[in-house]
Amino acid sequence: MGKKRREEKLKRKGQQRTPLSGRDMLRIFPSLLLRAFIVVMPLTLLMTFLGASGVTLFNNFWVQMGTYLAAYIVFNKFIFGPVRNYRPANPPKAK
């Protein structure tokens, strides 16, 4: 029983993700910034164009914030994909 429980514990520990270090986050940050820019910039241009075209709804600050929030929720997996899929080059060894 002891050996089996130990093996199960090591198996569970091996499946857990290790937290990202500051150095790892610095490697990922430019990609996050670029992906957020890719999502926000077209949305900003579209809202600016619609606001200038006479759709007064998009001149309201709260509508704009709601639109940005909705885009963030919809594109969350795209923006944070590098964080979810990041695998460190030298994974720590299990004790």
Collapsing DSSP states into helix, strand and coil, what is residue 85?
A: coil
Distance, in Å, from the CA atom of 41 to the CA atom of 33, rounded to the nearest integer, reads 12
Question: Tens of pLDDT along 32-70?
Answer: 899 999 999 999 999 999 999 998 998 999 999 999 999
Distance, in Å, from the CA atom of 91 to the CA atom of 93, rounded to the nearest integer, reads 6
- The pLDDT assigned to 93 comes to 62
DSSP-assigned states of every residue in 8-20:
HHHHHHHHSPPPP
Distance, in Å, from the CA atom of 48 to the CA atom of 46, rounded to the nearest integer, reads 5
